[in-house]
Structure 1
Amino acid sequence: MAFSQLTRRATLMLGLMALSALPFSTPALAQGFPDRPITLVVPFAAGGSTDVVARIVAQKMSEDLGEQVIVQNVAGAGGNLGAANVARADADGYTILMGTVATHALNPLILKTKPYDPQKDFAPISLLVIVPNVLVVNPELPAKNVEELLALLKAKPDEYSYASSGNGTPLHLSGELFKKMAGVSMQHIPYKGAGPALNDVIGNQVPIMFDNLPSSSGHIKAGTLRALAVTTAERAPSFPDVPTVAESGIPGYETYTWNGLFAPANTPQPVVARLNEAANKALKDPAVIERMKEFSAKIVGSTPEELSAHVTAELAKWTPVVRDANVQMD
């Protein structure tokens, strides 16, 4: 065999070996995805609404994907620990995040040291659900609606206080946005969690609170809390008689807790598309729809582009609120 033929053959073999060592092409990766379990990181402790949403959706996604979607709670630093872990994970779709308004809007604005960029370090998958907050008061407070509450606050500035689950939390900043848009003053009393805050509102140590609707709903039904308004643009189906803040004299007011799926940045687009398909299919399951109704979660199910736009809008909305409230944390 001529030397030139040997050279060509050797070159061909080396080329084939090099190709075989490369990662699968994007279409092939998507076609074979997933071939092992997926970890869905919930950046909060088990039992909260974010954890509940994650477990409901993960179960149905597992059925569609043919591999288990395993929920892993990585609590700490207000959601930053779990979110940062996913931002640093391999961009292969096998580690994804249940993101929230805290991980992708508030924490990045509040923290002096930022462990990740909410836009550059993640690939959006789908905005899953929106969970309303609710403005509640102790029944002894002489305010039956938002209009009467505003009258009280304007008549006696800073005499009334409101509780929250902690400095810089979505519930704290819901109160700050309320103050800003209504032009009223009230003192903020931060607690180490929503539970202790709620207990003191029920006990009338603090008269006012913005809370997640799921955790307050039982107390509202029992009469130990009075719901003045929900914070979403539309009324909550589980409490159709409770008006929105916007329709109660503060037009344009809207806050809520939301849950969305994110992968690490640079995750191949076909993998993101497959995860999006499985997540949105799960949200259409009748059993999932009924479970979400139980705690007034509004099902969305979006494209990755729509979730990206949602994060951008949330950052724009909360930036002036965080600045005016002068909330900064290490």
Structure 2
Amino acid sequence: MLQVNPTMPVHSVAEFIAYAREIRFVSASAIPAQARSRTWPPNCSARPPASSFVSVPYRGSAPMFTDLIAGRIQGAFENIPASIEQIRSGTARALAVTTAAASESLPELPALSAGLPGVEAFAVADIGAPRDTPAEIIATINATINATINAGFADPRLRARLEDLGATILAGSPEDFALLIARETVKWTRVIRSAGIRIT
């Protein structure tokens, strides 16, 4: 979710982009780099300087929201479940979701990709095993643990609670998950290389 301090004079992604030169924006991900590549063409004379987005690392959502609410930072990308109570209480203002489709919990919010085609980001909570785990062990784990999890997802009360928290249920096989990880790896590798991001 793209969100800002509620005192900021922006109420849409378009207004946010126009205001971007003046703000301190925090993100724990490469989403700003992905958005920049769609928003400002590389040779555009109006392209803002690299300092437009200052990435500020935080040890979790709580200290980040402390600074966002206090106005020490003006905007942030944060997961919907971690943000939804601040949005509902009005201590932060949501502008868009970064998933491909709108959120069922906040259907009034547009997807960021509506204005910036190709920009999509989401977090996944999953159950995994070491990379070299034998396929037969993966199959056994999937047949037991995954069956229990899927049974829980079938409970309408649990589904309703997860959706109220802003989570989207994504069930599937180990092969489905491997394909998802492969696609995301390709996507973010391109963004990181294009933005010149390096580990220091």
CA deviations 1:59-105 (Å, max 9, x no partner) are xxxxxxxxxxxxxxxxxxxxxxxxxxxxxxxxxxxxxxxxxxxxxxx
1:239 and 2:106 aligned: yes
1:264 and 2:135 aligned: no
Aligned residue-pair number? 185
Over aligned residues, Cα RMSD in angstroms? Answer: 2.0
**Letter of the structure 1 residue corresponding to residue 119 of structure 2:** Y
1:202 and 2:69 aligned: yes
Larger radius of gyration: 1
CA deviations 1:121-160 (Å, max 9, x no partner) are xxxxxxxxxxxxx00011121111101112223xxx3x32
Shift >6 Å, 4+ stretches = none
Pairing partner for 1:225 from 82, 87, 92: 92
When normalised by structure 1's length, the TM-score is 0.52
Aligned counterpart, 2:26: 163
Q: Is the 8 A contact 1:246 1:252 kept in 2?
A: yes
**Letter of the structure 1 residue corresponding to residue 182 of structure 2:** T
Aligned counterpart, 2:199: 328
Alpha-carbon separation, structure 1, partners of 2:25 and 2:132: 42
Aligned counterpart, 1:177: 34
1:308 and 2:174 aligned: no
Offset of 1:301 from its aligned partner? 1.3
Alpha-carbon separation, structure 2, partners of 1:264 and 1:218: 35
Distance 1:294 1:275, change over 3 A: farther
Aligned counterpart, 2:43: none
Q: Is the 8 A contact 1:232 1:244 kept in 2?
A: yes
Pairing partner for 1:188 from 54, 71, 75: 54
Q: Is the 8 A contact 1:280 1:301 kept in 2?
A: no
Aligned counterpart, 2:159: 289
**Letter of the structure 1 residue corresponding to residue 30 of structure 2:** L
Offset of 1:161 from its aligned partner? 1.9
Aligned counterpart, 1:149: 16
SS at the partner of 1:227?
A: strand
Structure 1 runs not aligned, ≥5 long? 1-133, 165-170
Offset of 1:281 from its aligned partner? 4.6
Alpha-carbon separation, structure 2, partners of 1:233 and 1:264: 29
Distance 1:207 1:275, change over 3 A: same
1:138 and 2:13 aligned: no
Offset of 1:238 from its aligned partner? 1.0
Alpha-carbon separation, structure 2, partners of 1:175 and 1:304: 30
Q: What percent identity do the matched residue pairs reach?
A: 28
Q: Is the 8 A contact 1:135 1:231 kept in 2?
A: yes
Q: Which protein has the bigger strand share?
A: 1
Alpha-carbon separation, structure 2, partners of 1:275 and 1:211: 31
Offset of 1:297 from its aligned partner? 1.5
Q: Is the 8 A contact 1:282 1:288 kept in 2?
A: no
CA deviations 1:156-183 (Å, max 9, x no partner) are x3x322013xxxxxx3312222222222
Q: Is the 8 A contact 2:25 2:54 kept in 1?
A: yes
Alpha-carbon separation, structure 2, partners of 1:266 and 1:224: 45
Q: Is the 8 A contact 2:80 2:167 kept in 1?
A: no
Distance 1:178 1:273, change over 3 A: same
Q: Is the 8 A contact 1:176 1:325 kept in 2?
A: no
Q: Is the 8 A contact 1:233 1:254 kept in 2?
A: yes
Alpha-carbon separation, structure 1, partners of 2:140 and 2:164: 28
